[in-house]
Amino acid sequence: MVHHSDTTVDATSGTRHHPGDFLFREIFALLAILITGMPFAFYALYRVLVTPFFTYLTHANVRVPVWLDRPLSWILITPNLHKFHHHVERPWTNTNFGGVLSIWDRMFGTFTYGDPARVRYGLDVLDASEGPEPQLSVRYPLQ
């Protein structure tokens, strides 16, 4: 809820997480390294270079032109694509979980694509009256 309660998603939103979330992720990642025998340097490189780059990029207030975003979203999680994961209402919140590659969402049926201008940020279980004036919620089918 810490990460998704932000009603004005920007690059800093990518770094807002509950400490328990961070601990949970790191423990399982380190267990995976031990089980698979992967060199720790690969994981360190991923956590220091790849993850921060995509975290800031996908949460940034940039609008990628559709002609570029559509083809990129076949491979990568783009800013337009990730915005749906931050939509205030379900089922949109339960889509586009990928951090770098969109193939995982495509494989597990959690991929959605549409007009990012229709996304309203926040959580439907929290009172948004303390934040900026919320936009009108628009319902439309997932694409």
- At 17-72, the pLDDT tens digits run 778 888 998 899 899 999 999 999 999 998 889 888 988 888 888 888 989 999 99
Domain segments of the chain as ranges: 11-130
In contact, 109 and 98? CB cutoff 8 Å: no
**Cis status of the peptide bond prior to 91, with omega within 30 of 0:** yes
The confidence score (pLDDT) of residue 139 equals 42
Q: For tokens 């601990």, name the residue.
A: 23
Amino acid at 23: L
Of residues 104 and 9, more confidently modeled: 104
Q: If residue 28 lies in a helix (H) or strand (E), which one and from where to where?
A: helix 19-36
